[in-house]
Structure 1
Amino acid sequence: MPSASRTTLGLALSLALLGGAMSPPVLAQGGETVRLSERWDEKRATALLERAVKHVEAKGEAALADFSRQGEFIDRDLYVYAMAMDGRFLASGGSSAALIGQNVAERTDAAGKPFFRELLDKAAAQGGGRVEYRWLNPVQNREEPKVTLFRKVGDTVVAVGFYAPRATAAQAQAMLEQAVAALALDANAALADFQKIGGNYTQDDLYVFVVDMKDGRFLAHGATPALVGRNGHELRDPKGKAIITDMINVASRKGAGEIDYAWRNPTTSKVESKHTYFRAVDGKLVGVGYYIR
């Protein structure tokens, strides 16, 4: 391995360790963040889904009963569930067994998202995919972000979901788009909304921050409102990186960008590796980032 690569890897490992637990490190390659190891929960979910799909392909409708039993289609906290393409819930090895027999096509998650409809539409159009939503975690007894992987087999959709309390890159990008649109519509109202506890712009470890690009002062910060009015040019991450200055410099030249650094995760209170997307909007730097496992 070239010395430069070893140095980058060493830094990535150090940043991961700052979070207080060994997390999959990342390397910056070609402007993209590449994980050196797969997320373990998603890897397990993918493997369980593959087994379930093969089971349905081999046994047809008779296979569905096996998903509702304790056995080979239960992997600790992971389980298989199945739906008909018309929205009827057919089988489940977990708490969603209470839905068996019901039509869930229009059921929404805790945030009002019709995720089952999204799942069915994607299954019809693409044959499979993934859907993200919020659902009650019976172990933690609270609503958390969840990801479900699914495949269409005949007229049946086979699925496996896992809880992902850390926001994803896609969720961070989506929130950034919403924040930019809100600022364009009414800047003052948007800045206030970005700091509302429990609002649309503060979800788990996901939040919006806004900085005046002219003087570097924070105009909003969803996780730490006390930063409002503070000069962002003075901020450094634990490695001494001038993160706000770097973002403003890039945004001034290119209008948008992304950056890796270490920052406190508001849900764990630990310093962790973070990847932030940002954009320049009417002289303001708007950013949303997600914490990397």
Structure 2
Amino acid sequence: MKMFVRFMLYSLLLNWAAVALAQTPAPATVPAGYEEEAARAAALLRTAVDLYKEEGDAAFAKFSRQGEFTDGDLYVYVLDRQGHMLAAGGPSAALIGRDVSPLLDDELKQHLAAALQQPDSDTIHSDEYRWKNWQDGKVERKRVYYQLYDDKSFAVGYFVQRSSPDAAQQLLEDAAQAIQADPQGTIARINQLDPEFNRDDLYVFVADLDTQSMVAHGYNRRLLGIHFPDMKNRDGMRVGQKLLDAAEAGETSVSYTWPNPVTGKDEEKQTLIRKVGDYLVAVGYYQESKTAAQ
């Protein structure tokens, strides 16, 4: 009976969180396309805090095992104000009882210190940092929601595996300006995977319109030097020719499926394109593919 009540409470909180977070004006709080994950994280966090209010430290055991307080890659973790891990349902369970501060880099230490200085309240705070995703083993952006109660920080986070259209547009702007100012230098930097042109799942690639060849690629160096019109995706679509035709027609974007370097899956990609002198400069952002049933 108690489990049923908690399930109903969780369902109600999920609905509440979806409404509350959808009304949040700050776009940094909920990355575009991650409204569902944000709602689930907030709901799980509220449920955990409510259980702690009922059971005190006895709730930590429930947070620290698979089941009620894990939801896919979401899990609850709890720190005291000194940075000691008190409970964790994911891979951080190995840190229970330890001060996590010495294990963090300087940037993460600053994030943690700022979070633990927040006063106890009913307010849910949010932050973003980079952390290893236990499901794919990759270091990715993570958006975390946390609440301070009883001098403890209760937190739940989700991984952000797809960048926003605005971020892709900004990278295209930066790359186009750099190509305009110094084509050869910028091409070399892109091919050296300079982080200025390689941001999470966003990267720049460049085709020479005179030679019709790929001269720069910020992710897959095996594509360098290929005849650009012949570049195909796994479905056999001549993506390179499609991009060239779109640029010739004055279009600014093209959609097709392509492997996402973060998830490793074929996903729908919207690629933004721009002619800069003798070059076609491109940056694409990914959208999770939907099946026909969806």
Q: TM-score per shorter chain, which class?
A: 0.5 to 0.7
Aligned to 2:243: 243
Q: CA deviation at 1:46?
A: 4.1
Aligned to 2:104: 107
1:97-246 paired onto structure 2 within 5 Å: 97=93, 98=95, 100-104=97-101, 107-108=104-105, 114-115=107-108, 117-118=110-111, 121=114, 124=118, 127-135=124-132, 137=134, 140=136, 142-154=137-149, 155-163=151-159, 166-169=161-164, 172=168, 179=175, 187-196=183-192, 200=195, 205-212=201-208, 218-225=214-221, 227-228=223-224, 238=237, 242-246=242-246
Distance verdict in 2 for CA 1:80–1:177, change over 3 Å: farther
1:60-99 paired onto structure 2 within 5 Å: 62=57, 65-66=60-61, 68-70=63-65, 71-84=67-80, 87-97=83-93, 98=95
Q: CA deviation at 1:40?
A: 6.5
Equivalents in 1 of 2:62, 2:247: separation in Å?
49
Q: Structure 2: any 5+ residue segments left out of the alignment?
A: 1-31, 289-294
Given that 1:67 and 1:81 are in contact with CA atoms closer than 8 Å, whether structure 2 keeps it comes out as no
Q: CA deviation at 1:285?
A: 4.6
TM-score scaled by length of structure 1: 0.58
Equivalents in 2 of 1:192, 1:269: separation in Å?
25
Equivalents in 1 of 2:76, 2:211: separation in Å?
53
For 1:242, give the aligned amino acid: K
1:48-67 paired onto structure 2 within 5 Å: 48-56=44-52, 58-59=53-54, 62=57, 65-66=60-61
> CA offsets per residue over residues 214-242 of structure 1, 9 Å max, x none?
88754312344455456757768739883
Q: CA deviation at 1:131?
A: 1.6
Aligned to 1:13: none
> CA offsets per residue over residues 8-55 of structure 1, 9 Å max, x none?
xxxxxxxxxxxxxxxxxxxxxxxxxx86xx687655434322322443
What's the C-alpha RMSD, in Å, of the aligned pairs? 4.7
Q: CA deviation at 1:292?
A: 1.5
Distance verdict in 2 for CA 1:63–1:149, change over 3 Å: farther
| % identity of equivalent residues | 26
> CA offsets per residue over residues 191-232 of structure 1, 9 Å max, x none?
2232247x6355775432124578875431234445545675
Given that 1:208 and 1:287 are in contact with CA atoms closer than 8 Å, whether structure 2 keeps it comes out as yes
Q: CA deviation at 1:272?
A: 3.0
Equivalents in 1 of 2:130, 2:82: separation in Å?
20
Distance verdict in 2 for CA 1:65–1:287, change over 3 Å: same
Equivalents in 2 of 1:174, 1:114: separation in Å?
24
Q: Structure 1: any 5+ residue segments left out of the alignment?
A: 1-33, 252-256
3-state SS in 2 of match to 1:65: helix
The structure whose Rg is larger is 2
Q: CA deviation at 1:135?
A: 0.8
3-state SS in 1 of match to 2:191: coil
Distance verdict in 2 for CA 1:269–1:107, change over 3 Å: closer
For 2:255, give the aligned amino acid: Y
Equivalents in 2 of 1:248, 1:99: separation in Å?
58
